[in-house]
Structures are given as C-alpha cells and as structure tokens.
C-alpha cells in the first residue's frame, strides 16, 4: 500500500581473479569449486569433422561472498511480482553472471484482504446499528483515521463500498481501488423480559 524498501542478505559464488594455479595467501582463501567451463572440441565422424561444446572442469578458483541488496517495493505491487538485480547471480568462468530475481510474497493482514486493486474487510455491527444506522472509524494502512456514516437499515451480510479507499494501482498510484466492507450482525447473547415484550409489541 505505502511502498518501501526491504533489505535482503544473499550469498553468491564469485571468481577469484588471477588465482588459477596460484598459491598466494589471497588465493588460498578461495576454496570453492567454480562451475564447469564450456570447451569447443573437434569431433570426427567418418569423413566429417564438426565442432562440439562440452563441459570441462575449470582451473579458476572461487569463493562465497555475502551481499546485502535493497528491494524497492513500489506502491501497488502485488504478490508474485518480481524485482530483478542484473548480473548479481553466481559468477561462472567465461560466462556472464546470472541475475538475482526476488519474488514478492504478501503477508496476511489482520483487518484487510486484497483482491486486485480492491480491499475487503469485515465490520461487526449490533442489531440496533443494523436497523437505525451507525457511525464508525478505523485506521487505514497509511495510518489515516477513516470515518464512515451509514444511514438506514443494513441487511445481514450486506456489503458497503467506500470508493477510492482500496489499493493504489501499480504503475499509476494516483488511481486507487475501492474498499468493500461486509457488515456482520453481532446478536445479543441475552434479552430481558422487558426487551422481549417490547419487541413483540413493536415488531411485525
């Protein structure tokens, strides 16, 4: 909803440059085996000679290093979207390093559920509030206090809509979805004799 930054620690294998065949103190710290290299060899089949690539053990030496990357989560991004860090993957001899791809995972929220660009929440109301209307407020995801006023009757399970109080749209945060509020009745656990008599006398 708000966007932000998340720091992630990653480990990757890097090539120790200039350490192939070296026993220097610096190179002796490189104890990881590097990925295989691709080597082109000539193959003969009858009168035909053709080139073929095959994997061979690399003479390079590698080590593991740790990095901290900062993931920028833009407003409106959803679970399953990815953020790519170019060339921060494992280094392989004679090849370009791969990418680090971070896939976003959305945690459940205690109050709101997201569906596309819309938000959904449950609201508990009393029987009296359902019959005559009610006012309420709640804190939104950006810390704002949102007030709402519902007049008239509200049916059990009825959904009220607050336009423009949903999620910002990814790529266009000025466009915002809606907030859908499902009203659930909280029935009284007990009624007094006077209350029962009044209901019988005044309700059809």
pLDDT at position 204, please?
Answer: 77
Average pLDDT over residues 176-184: 96
- The band of 22, judged by pLDDT with boundaries at 50, 70 and 90, is confident
CA distance 85 to 70: 10
- Identify the pLDDT of residue 186: 92
Which of 19-23, 49-53, 94-98, 158-162 shows the lowest per-residue confidence on average (mean pLDDT)? 49-53
What is the layout of strands, in order, in the sheet containing 118-126? 113-115, 118-126, 179-186, 159-162
Q: Does residue 74 have a pLDDT over 90?
A: yes
Judged against a pLDDT cut of 80, whether residue 189 lies above it is answered with yes
Percent with pLDDT over 70 in the chain? 100
Mean pLDDT in the chain?
91
202 falls in which pLDDT band (50, 70, 90)?
Answer: confident
The pLDDT assigned to 173 comes to: 84
Convert the pLDDT of each residue in 89-143 to its tens digit.
999 888 888 899 999 999 999 999 999 999 999 999 998 899 999 999 999 999 9
Sign of the alpha-carbon torsion through 71, 76, 78, 81: negative
pLDDT confidence bin for 46, thresholds 50/70/90: confident
Whose tokens are 């991004």? That residue is 77
């Amino acid at each position: 909803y708000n966007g932000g930054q998340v720091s992630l620690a990653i480990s990757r294998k890097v090539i120790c440059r200039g350490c192939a065949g070296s026993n220097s103190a610096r190179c002796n710290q490189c104890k990881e085996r590097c990925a295989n290299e691709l080597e082109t060899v000539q193959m003969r089949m009858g009168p035909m000679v053709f080139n073929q690539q095959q994997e061979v053990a690399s003479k390079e030496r590698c080590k593991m290093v740790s990095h901290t990357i900062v993931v920028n989560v833009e407003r409106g991004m959803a679970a399953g979207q990815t953020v790519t860090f170019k060339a921060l993957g494992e280094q392989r001899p004679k090849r370009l390093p791969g990418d680090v791809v971070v896939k976003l995972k959305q945690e459940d929220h205690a109050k709101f559920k997201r569906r596309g660009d819309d938000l959904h929440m449950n609201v508990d109301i009393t029987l009296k509030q359902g019959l005559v209307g009610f006012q309420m407020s709640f804190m939104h995801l950006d810390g704002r206090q949102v007030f709402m006023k519902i007049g008239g009757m509200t049916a059990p399970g009825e959904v009220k809509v607050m336009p423009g109080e949903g999620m910002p749209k990814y790529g266009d945060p000025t466009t915002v979805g809606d907030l859908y509020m499902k009203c659930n009745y909280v029935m009284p656990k007990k009624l007094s004799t006077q209350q029962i008599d009044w209901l019988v006398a005044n309700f059809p």
